[in-house]
C-alpha cells in the first residue's frame, strides 16, 4: 500500500516568508510525528499527534512553528517568518498505534527539504 507522502519535496523560500509543509500518513495510522534533520542538530523530534488527544508540542523550537492535523489524517507544519537556521529536511512519520510500550514502528516519509535564503 501507499507509504507516508510529503509535499513539496523541495521548498526554497526567502527569509521572513511563511511556509507550509504537508504530510499524508499511511491510511489507518492514528499517530503522526514531525521530525527535523539538519547538519548541525541531527534528527530532532518536533511534534506528535495521537488520535484526538492534545498534541505533544515539546520539540517545537520556537513559537514560529506550529502544526495541525485535520480529521485525524493529513497534517500541515507551518513555519512563520522563516529564518536561515530553519533550513533542514522536515520528516513526517506515522505509526499504527501509539501504545505505552513505545515499540510501534514509525514509518517515515521522504521528507521536505527546506532552504531559506
Partner 1 sequence: GDSVTQMEGPVTLSEEAFLTINCTYTATGYPSLFWYVQYPGEGLQLLLKATKADDKGSNKGFEATYRKETTSFHLEKGSVQVSDSAVYFCALTVQGAQKLVFGQGTRLTINP
Nearer to partner 1, 71 or 102 (CB): 102
Q: Does 91 bind partner 1 (CB under 8 A)?
A: yes
d(CA 20, CA 34): 13
From the list 15-23, 64-72, 77-85, 99-107, the region that binds partner 1 by CB under 8 A is 99-107
Cell triple for 33: 510525528
Cis amide prior to 109 (ω within 30 degrees): no
d(CA 16, CA 86): 11
Q: Does 27 bind partner 1 (CB under 8 A)?
A: no
Q: Which of 81, 51, 50, 41 is nearest to 65 (CA)?
A: 81
From the list 19-27, 39-47, 68-76, 79-87, the region that binds partner 1 by CB under 8 A is 39-47
Which residues sit opposite 13 in a β-bridge?
116
Binds partner 1 (CB under 8 A): choice among 2, 14, 42, 63: 42
Instruction: List interacting residues with partner 1 (CB under 8 A).
Output: 4, 31, 33, 35, 42-45, 48, 50, 56, 58-59, 91, 93, 95, 98, 100-103, 105-111
Amino acid at each position: 500500500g501507499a507509504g507516508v507522502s510529503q509535499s513539496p519535496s523541495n521548498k526554497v523560500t526567502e527569509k521572513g516568508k511563511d511556509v507550509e509543509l504537508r504530510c499524508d500518513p499511511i491510511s489507518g495510522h492514528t499517530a503522526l510525528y514531525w521530525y527535523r534533520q539538519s547538519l548541525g542538530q541531527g534528527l530532532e523530534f518536533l511534534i506528535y499527534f495521537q488520535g484526538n488527544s492534545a498534541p505533544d508540542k515539546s520539540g517545537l523550537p520556537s513559537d514560529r512553528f506550529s502544526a495541525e492535523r485535520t480529521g485525524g489524517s493529513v497534517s500541515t507544519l507551518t513555519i512563520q517568518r522563516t529564518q536561515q537556521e530553519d533550513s533542514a529536511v522536515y520528516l513526517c512519520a506515522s505509526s499504527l498505534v501509539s501504545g505505552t510500550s513505545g515499540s510501534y514502528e514509525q514509518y517515515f516519509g521522504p521528507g521536505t527539504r527546506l532552504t531559506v535564503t
